[in-house]
Amino acid sequence: MHEPDPLSRIDGAVAARADLIGGEDPTAFRLFNGHLEGDGRYVIDAYGATVVIYHHGEPLAEGDEAFSALVARLHERLPSVRTVILKERKSTLHDRRRGRVVSADRAEPVVGDVVREHGVRYAVDLLMRQDAGFYLDTRHLRRWLQDHGAGASVLNTFAYTGSLGVAARAGGASVLHTDRDARVLAVAKASYALNGFPVDRRDFRARDFWSFVRDRKGRGERFDVVVLDPPFFSSTTGGRVDLNRRTTQLVNKVRPLVQSGGKLVLVHNSLFVSGAELMRELDALCTGGWLRVDASIDVPEDVAGFASTRVRASVTDPAPFNHSTKIVVLEVRHR
């Protein structure tokens, strides 16, 4: 079979996103979804006037012609792009994995540091970590949290740069963010400031998840909504997160922190757990009637791939979800 050249795949992907490109909201979206859209070497995201290219192939040689052609094509198709950042996933060098500016039209490169979504502003630090610090697959969840925020108390666990909690706060919730890393919580505070929300340091707790949850449980605290969006693996002296094996344990850990009738929002991003497997696990947790699957939330099409641009399937079948990032709202009841 004749394989289209990589640049024409990028052209097709860019054309499918015509509605998003140059729009005022959202300004952060996926331009090209590597594997699903036919070229596993690249995932390309837009953050305002900055494009981030994640390169999953072997580290690039200086002056790689195919890569230069890709950058040139992006500038040609997206005239508003000012800066291109390259993050090389397989590099042995930390700085290369975190990323560097490979193209800028000014001596002083403009690295987009604010994105806008559903009328809310988010601070981003695109070079701080190996990812860009703002997840595009949870855009519809941010909308849900904004819509369900009014008057709610929300606990944002594994908060990272806080985007899910910032969305809830924008909707009128009082939010407690927790993550073990104080540096990422500083970005969440910057997002509060951007939106004019007062920053109270008690709302941002740099703590290990396991001891934090134990302490709050000990105090009998409960929230209307608890967001559980962990990495697929993390091991500390407090405990182990392993979404391939231990989702039930994690859900049970935070359940007591949810008000009776409140919601536990689970974001499960393991590529290796199919949608059906996750649903089986949740159904088992729901027997007894104290937990109920209330809703699932889709991943936006620019991230999941459009029907017209998807050429490959996920590693495991995400159905009934539309992507390997599986987002479920669970309703919790207590005796």
Ligand X SMILES: C[S@@+](CC[C@H](N)C(=O)[O-])C[C@H]1O[C@@H](n2cnc3c(N)ncnc32)[C@H](O)[C@@H]1O
Among 158, 192, 204, 321, binds ligand X (CB under 6 A): 158
Among 164, 173, 297, 299, binds ligand X (CB under 6 A): 164
Among 125, 208, 277, 298, binds ligand X (CB under 6 A): 208
Question: What residues from 71 to 110 belong to the interface with ligand X (CB under 6 A)?
Answer: none
Q: Does 204 bind ligand X (CB under 6 A)?
A: no
Q: Does 135 bind ligand X (CB under 6 A)?
A: yes
Question: Comparing C-alpha atoms, which of 213, 283, 222 is closest to residue 250?
Answer: 213
Nearest distance from C-beta of residue 39 to ligand X, angstroms: 25
Report the largest interatomic distance among the alpha carbons of the chain, rounded to a whole angstrom: 65
Nearest distance from C-beta of residue 206 to ligand X, angstroms: 9
Residues 6 or more apart whose Cβ sits within 8 Å of residue 95: none
φ and ψ of 232, to 5 deg: -75, -20
Report the alpha-carbon distance of residue 56 to residue 45 in Å, rounded: 14
Cα–Cα separations (whole angstroms), residue 150 to 111, 238, 284? 33, 33, 32
Question: What residues from 257 to 316 belong to the interface with ligand X (CB under 6 A)?
Answer: none
Among 50, 83, 146, 163, binds ligand X (CB under 6 A): 163
Per the structure block, which two tokens stand in for 154? 């929300």
Nearest distance from C-beta of residue 241 to ligand X, angstroms: 6
| Size of site (CB under 6 A) for ligand X | 21
Classify residue 32 as exposed, middle or buried by CB count within 10 Å of its CB (0-12, 13-18, 19+): buried
Nearest distance from C-beta of residue 327 to ligand X, angstroms: 11
Q: Does 122 bind ligand X (CB under 6 A)?
A: no
Q: Does 113 bind ligand X (CB under 6 A)?
A: no
Q: Does 176 bind ligand X (CB under 6 A)?
A: no
Among 64, 95, 105, 181, binds ligand X (CB under 6 A): 181
Which is nearer to ligand X, 10 or 170 (by Cβ)? 170
| DSSP H or E stretch at residue 210 | helix 209-218
Please give the distance of CA 3 from its chain centroid, rounded to a whole number.
31
Contact 28, 46 (CB under 8 A): yes
Q: Does 184 bind ligand X (CB under 6 A)?
A: yes
First to last CA, the chain: 61
Which residues are at the interface with ligand X (CB under 6 A)?
A: 135, 138, 158-161, 163-164, 179-181, 184, 208-209, 229-231, 234, 236, 238, 241
